[in-house]
Structure 1
Amino acid sequence: MSENILIPEIKKKASLPKEVFIGWLTSLSEAYNTAIFSFLAPMLALFFFQNENSFTSLFFSYSFVFLGSSLFYPLGAFYYGTMGDAKGRQKTCVYSTLGLAISTGLIAFIPEGTYGAFFLLILICAQHFFSGGEYYGSIVFSIEHADKEKSGILSALSCLFASFGLALANGLAYFPLLKGNELWMKSCFIIGALGGMVSYLLKNYCQETPAFKSLPLLAGKETKVFEFIKKRSKSLLKVVIVSALFIISYNFIFIFLPLHQNGSETSDSFKPLIFYGFSILFAGFLADRFGLKRVLMSGILLFSLTVTPLCLFKMDLWVRQIILTSFASLIIGPIHSFMMNQFEPKERCRGLFIGSAIAMSLFGGSTVPICLLLFFKFNSLAAASLYPMSIGAASFIYLYQEIEDCGIRIVKIPAKSA
């Protein structure tokens, strides 16, 4: 009799609903749309800042990302985070996906020159506003539909599809940079818009997540935003810390290092990005085996200890990227499940979105400009690496004091009586 009860339960857990895969596909599309500008920035710098020297034009191009991520990503995250807890994850994903697709596609139609740079700034800011709801909206959407919120491997799979989007953006951006072809460059943005529209159409046919549907009607409207920040400040700080490490480690490895060596990150990051995706998957497996926080803390420590020494000595760029990617993956693989476990379902979107918004406003887009300034000031790659190293070291010191391990269940065995 018990076997007849268990069989359908096993079948139910063995398969994932279509919404999980659609959420992963949307993560791929979002990562492509937000990354394609960074990979094409060296060419866009010449296109929009024709009268400036190469360093000035490149600095301004990446500063657009800094402005968009520091101001407009947080606005989008606050707006969509509130919507996700009040009206549902599905609505959040649909609207933000559509907005990101449109703003990406419009970049292809901007004219060159100073006026074009002004319109580019507006669209970059729009991209980051919609990305503030789209990226973590898709993460919550996928993991809640899978109903395995403490799974490191599911968190890693969400990151894996995002890394596929990054690799696709990197690979396609290589052709316009190689040929110096304006039409190829614009096509990259149109491809991003088409991918975003496909994601939008698919999400229109998705169901709401079980976690949200099980909530009371007014559960997501009980606490105001600023009251929520005050109430959950400790959990938000954890999200800010790990989000900042995510942002800084990725940008240092895949944007700054190739840019420093060759003046372009595109041709030198494709293979490390592929390695990055599968390293994240392995990190998710390790998180399920040894605990989310234990793996994440190991990654923070290893990355912080090795980033500056690796930059002190001359070595092949690819070797340096692979070593740092191995350690950064331990941070990024379990990161989403770790962050989701800090909040109850009724406040999960606000928690993840607001925490990531604070991290993005402080650190998003900062890595490349700050590392460029440090490098040109001291003419040393090791000096530039002090920025990610110091953030990682400070993060490890704070998180080490936290004894709660969201990924490991500690069972206390009572002592036997004599």
Structure 2
Amino acid sequence: MRQAEPVGDESAAARSGGRSFGRIAFASLIGTLIDGYDFVLYSVAAALVFPKVFFPSLGGAAGTIASLATLGVAFVARPIGALLFGHFGDRLGRKRTLIWAILGMGIGTTLMGVIPSANTIGVAAPIIIVILRAVQGLAVGGEWAGSVLFVTEHAPLRRRGLYSMFPQLGHSLPTALAPAILLLVGVLSTPETFIAWGWRVPFLASAVLVVIGLYIRLKVEETPVFAKSRERGQSGVPVLEAFKHQSWTMVRGIGVSLTTITFVYVAQSFVANYGVEHIHLSRNQVLAVSALSGLFYAVFTVLSAFISDRIGRRRMIGGAHVLGVVWGLLLFPVLNFGTFPIYAAALCVTMTIAGLAYGAVGAFLPEQFPTQYRFTAAGFSYQITGVIGGGIAPLLAPVIISSYGTTAFGVVLGVLCVFAAVCTFSLKDKTNESMDWNDPEQG
């Protein structure tokens, strides 16, 4: 008789490998797909469109800095959202919390598509954008952790990395999808039409994804790991328990995704603007390259998740950080060759390294924390990473480069990747351990 494969978190849905798990996987993917689509869409628009639509009175450089600064609003809100949604996710369940997260993200993005320009309603336009950006941040603060837990807590032990690919893929695919849609709208319209209203179409399209996501999420069941934890009973407030027992683990967890988030948001926002303003590429050329590099990001995210089940997640992620150190120093010298093919190659390499670091994160970071506060702790660590890599780094890029040159910012990228590697290698590799545990001493 063939011996059954030992599993740590296996549920009926995961064992079946059929329609039940397919629904769970799609439910985790669609939420992060919406989040990723909305966030990347905003990042690209903030670099190429919003300076002219919402900050026209500031001029080119100042308008771009002000527009990119609004990126940081969401990243500041994300840790708050992680704690808010994490509390309810750890107390009431993953499923219920994820429904509210997807609604918040979708509504915020759809409303962005109908805000009048600053030429129409004046200063109210950028104020409304900032408010809706904060709503986006709160929602995505809860979405990532909930989605990765939803799939990893259903997954078989030895395929947890592969199954965690789905929510990670939801965040990586939009780096190709959002620029591609903006490019399509740009090709089908004149530059004047694109700035006037064409850019709004992709934002309004977010409503369709929200409806699909809600329908799927209402059909799935709560994770078996959370259900067992609730049967055992819970004590304390999740955020207080997390900081009491594993504050140092949470701090180190900040570095796990740092290379990915920094590379993605620097590439999709600042480097996109750099290609137009300094290399003198057309907007459509930059959008095309952004879409192509996003495909590299998605493919290598999948490979990273798949390989992590075989070689261990810490080794997979840490190795990508080391590559990031080298590439961070080389990125701008390569870009400064100033040709379209080299620009395209540079962005594809950047997003390849981001994908190699990202695929395994969906399982590795949640594995560090017990069920009773896993949603809160994993989500908070990840979202603090977002503040640094997605909010601060793209904002500092034009300031550092204008004052000290591209080499100085390359050093900043390298230092961030070193920090990421040190944090990752200092954490335990729990690739082959169950996620069904509540004792903080195991962390």
Partner SS for 1:319: helix
Alpha-carbon distance in 2 for matches of 1:408, 1:83:
28
Q: Deviations over 1:217-272 (max 9, x none)?
A: 47454345234213111321232111333321211233322321224553321111
Alpha-carbon distance in 2 for matches of 1:400, 1:206:
35
**Counterpart in 2 of 1:347?**
373
Establish whether residue 384 from structure 1 lines up as the match of residue 406 from structure 2.
no
8 A Cα contact 2:26 2:166, kept in partner: no
Alpha-carbon distance in 2 for matches of 1:330, 1:253:
16
**Counterpart in 2 of 1:124?**
133
Point out where structure 2 has 5 or more consecutive residues left out of the alignment.
6-11, 278-282, 434-443
8 A Cα contact 1:283 1:329, kept in partner: yes
**Counterpart in 1 of 2:205?**
191
More off after superposition, 122-131 vs 349-358: 349-358
More off after superposition, 140-149 vs 28-37: 140-149
Alpha-carbon distance in 2 for matches of 1:228, 1:59:
36
Q: Deviations over 1:269-321 (max 9, x none)?
A: 11111111111111222212211111111111111122212422444112212
Alpha-carbon distance in 2 for matches of 1:312, 1:185:
32
Cα separation, partners in 2 of 1:401 and 1:12, compared to 1, 3 Å: closer
Cα separation, partners in 2 of 1:248 and 1:11, compared to 1, 3 Å: closer
Of residues 206, 224, 236, the one that matches 1:210 is 224
Alpha-carbon distance in 2 for matches of 1:150, 1:338:
12
**Counterpart in 2 of 1:109?**
114
Q: Deviations over 1:365-408 (max 9, x none)?
A: 11211111111112x33222222211111232344445x32236
Q: Deviations over 1:296-352 (max 9, x none)?
A: 111111111222124224441122122233322221111111101101222210111
8 A Cα contact 1:296 1:331, kept in partner: yes
Identity of aligned residues (%): 20
**Counterpart in 2 of 1:300?**
321
Alpha-carbon distance in 1 for matches of 2:111, 2:426:
47
**Counterpart in 1 of 2:295?**
274
**Counterpart in 1 of 2:62?**
56
More off after superposition, 77-86 vs 327-336: 327-336
Cα separation, partners in 2 of 1:399 and 1:97, compared to 1, 3 Å: closer
8 A Cα contact 2:158 2:432, kept in partner: no
Q: CA deviation at 1:176?
A: 4.4
8 A Cα contact 2:157 2:432, kept in partner: no
**Counterpart in 2 of 1:230?**
244
Establish whether residue 291 from structure 1 lines up as the match of residue 300 from structure 2.
no
**Counterpart in 2 of 1:169?**
178
**Counterpart in 2 of 1:78?**
83
Q: Deviations over 1:66-87 (max 9, x none)?
A: 12211x2122111000111100
Of residues 137, 144, 166, the one that matches 2:146 is 137
**Counterpart in 2 of 1:414?**
none
Report the count of equivalent residues.
Answer: 404
Alpha-carbon distance in 2 for matches of 1:356, 1:67:
16
TM-score (norm 1): 0.89
Cα separation, partners in 2 of 1:407 and 1:215, compared to 1, 3 Å: closer
**Counterpart in 2 of 1:26?**
31
Point out where structure 1 has 5 or more consecutive residues left out of the alignment.
410-418
Cα separation, partners in 2 of 1:227 and 1:85, compared to 1, 3 Å: closer
Cα separation, partners in 2 of 1:321 and 1:220, compared to 1, 3 Å: farther
Alpha-carbon distance in 1 for matches of 2:424, 2:59:
43
Alpha-carbon distance in 1 for matches of 2:68, 2:13:
50
Establish whether residue 88 from structure 1 lines up as the match of residue 93 from structure 2.
yes
Q: Counterpart of 1:55 in structure 2: which amino acid?
A: A
Alpha-carbon distance in 1 for matches of 2:83, 2:158:
23
Partner SS for 1:365: helix
TM-score (norm 2): 0.84
More off after superposition, 219-228 vs 182-191: 219-228
